[in-house]
Structure 1
């Protein structure tokens, strides 16, 4: 509830609020968890992911006495809205899965409890630094994850070499943006339609923020502070120039790279299996270009948190035991092996065929382990920031002057910040970010 509402949003929330008022007693807190039962919500992602999680729940329930996990899958497309509805009606589960950057908004809404004193030191130490960074807000740990993500460039080695293009080995020798511009021109000169780069323009929503906000960060900008700085404008002008030069395949069929139409694809870890099948040993994985302040890349994926509905020490202990079960190396790999994501623990990475030092996707793991990734903005305002940046990217793609597009996004973010009084902690002093202004029935 931190983004700037559209009229349809306000109407939906008012109807939801009226519905909730008819079913709740005023002043009641969330209904207590049933003894021994841990209610868990997860997103209904790929079928293989659902099957793995279902088997993990079965293994946990069989191995534990006195605790039973009840798993419910929620459609991914409406996941956040259903969480918000459950929060309003005080019917959150005990354990909640959510996309990583939403943790700060959920904490601000008082929907999550800190787990610093619940998680064991050994499990916490094994987590990737990126997962700890993403799950920490105002010095407290609120979420953990069994996997993380990787973002980079996939290329066809033979075509890059034929065009005389240097192949970077890692973030330290990533192409500068000027080198990347020359590489695109060299590849285009050898291509009949000059379309040589796939930016996954067929994807919508969160992809724009995940895939392209690292450009702003590589240029030295920040999404919640200098989104429209001169360096950020210059960086995004490079992207607009790629589009204007005709270097970018629109990828309507999602086959620009696998069909061989383009030799470069800007995308994440999840395409590796399809790309490796299509390209074979000619496939190379590369870091994103350096836009001035070093090559930056994205991080973050689906996380787990314990909700305020799980309010008793017994419930919280049981919930944490389930999450620690999921973080065992064999369980981490069970999920990572089907979704292709970067395993969320150091032990699991060491055992992974894809991400161990000799693995084909070692670059992604190395970036996460070395702190060369940047989390999406760590603020309750994230839903507004991502929406504003998505709109800005669409405007830039459609030819609007970059500064105009980024100014518009920065203004929307600033208005939201003012509307929410900088997300201060109401009733506990203004410490910058905190509790929300809530709808009252």
Structure 2
């Protein structure tokens, strides 16, 4: 008995010694909802227990004040070693010198979707575990009633076909007040930049010249962009979509088609069951496009232990951890290996289409520090267009404001 007690005591001392030898790595994490928050905390605990060199010490920051907290800490040189960030915010942080490139080995990043890699100037500064995708949602019964083809990933609706679908759905009448819910009840610039710029890109235009990110002239206001604006405006003038909806119409059953993110899939599946279809976005001329990029993990420029920080990000990027986060949030896992560990995203899973859309159609929001002014001015232009403003003038005004911001910031060089 004494020998057993001695061995237990010795084991505890060894365990304590190993734990005390771990180097602390401070981390800020935006305060996500449940169960995401609990799963992430469990992953921190699992990493700390998996090795004896590093110990991540996490602090939650409310999401509403997260960006302000990061900026303030960076200016006072008190940023933690690890930070998470929404991918569109990354270029601003990197440009300001808050972050360092991850320099992860190819063995870590090779199996991840491109949408998982947050880049600036060609370098990876953050890695995400999950992503979202845009799609068309439809009531199967309505499409059958209207006599329209159900599109596939390899054969989506083209522009002419999509317009025909909207025209037929708008004539169904009865419980259906409009043909499509475009989610324009959301007035935030984040949604308008994320949600509607892929349609612009599918027309063959873009938000900014991605060759050097120095100007939107001739890109956001070229002929293709004007054609897109006129087309988008026509969806409202023709009565296909409601101009000023109070909220989502698809879950209420008053429209048969919706343009929405993958975050709605689980709830809408519960509402509509087998009558719900998840469809690719239309090809408006240059192929279907969707937005991409979610919250990811990066290393601050002042981090004293980047090797430990990289070890933690590598741990989070493994299939098991990615799958755990996907199951917890319902979001897309960013690797096929992780998807295979889930019910919804494995081959044949009920939400597998979103992973296919992310792989085939995703276009990142412009990785430039000018993104905040791009999304704000694009939202204003598009909102004005929806409300009947001149398309060409609205886009020209957006271009002028975007280019002036870039000039005022000396090209963000």
- Specify the TM-score bucket, using the shorter chain as the normaliser: 0.7 to 0.9
Contact 1:154 1:266 in 2 (8 A): yes
CA deviations 1:10-56 (Å, max 9, x no partner) are xxxxxxxxxxxxxxxxxxxxxxxx98121111222222111111111
- State the match for 1:58 in structure 2: 45
Does 1:79 find its partner at 2:66?
A: yes
Contact 1:194 1:246 in 2 (8 A): no
Q: Which consecutive residues of structure 2, in runs of 5 or more, have no partner in the other structure?
A: 1-20, 210-218
2:271 to 272, 278, 297: 278
Does 1:260 find its partner at 2:247?
A: no
Contact 1:100 1:303 in 2 (8 A): yes
Where do residues 414-429 of structure 1 align in structure 2 (5 Å cutoff)? 414-424=403-413
Q: Which consecutive residues of structure 1, in runs of 5 or more, have no partner in the other structure?
A: 1-33, 425-441
CA deviations 1:154-179 (Å, max 9, x no partner) are 11111111101111111x42212222
- State the match for 2:161 in structure 1: 179
Length-normalised TM-score, structure 1: 0.82
- State the match for 1:131 in structure 2: 116
Q: Distance in 1 between matches of 2:369 and 2:38?
A: 32
Where do residues 374-413 of structure 1 align in structure 2 (5 Å cutoff)? 374-413=363-402
Does 1:121 find its partner at 2:115?
A: no
Say how many residue pairs are matched: 381
Contact 1:215 1:236 in 2 (8 A): no
- State the match for 1:235 in structure 2: 228
Contact 1:221 1:227 in 2 (8 A): yes
> The residue matched to 1:174 in structure 2 has which SS?
coil
Q: Distance in 2 between matches of 1:102 and 1:422?
A: 17
Residue 348 of structure 1: CA displacement? 0.4
- State the match for 1:30 in structure 2: none
1:157 to 140, 143, 148: 140
The 1:308/1:62 distance shift into structure 2, 3 A limit, reads same
Q: Distance in 2 between matches of 1:185 and 1:80?
A: 43
Where do residues 25-36 of structure 1 align in structure 2 (5 Å cutoff)? 36=23
Length-normalised TM-score, structure 2: 0.88
2:331 to 329, 336, 341: 341
2:79 to 73, 92, 115: 92
Q: Distance in 2 between matches of 1:216 and 1:369?
A: 19
Contact 2:141 2:275 in 1 (8 A): yes
Give the greater-gyration-radius structure (CA): 2
Query: Pairwise CA RMSD of aligned residues?
Result: 1.8
Q: Distance in 2 between matches of 1:265 and 1:157?
A: 12
CA deviations 1:373-413 (Å, max 9, x no partner) are 11111222112211211222222222222222211111111
> The residue matched to 1:351 in structure 2 has which SS?
coil
> The residue matched to 1:261 in structure 2 has which SS?
coil
Contact 1:223 1:377 in 2 (8 A): yes
The answer to which of 206-215 and 380-389 deviates more is 380-389
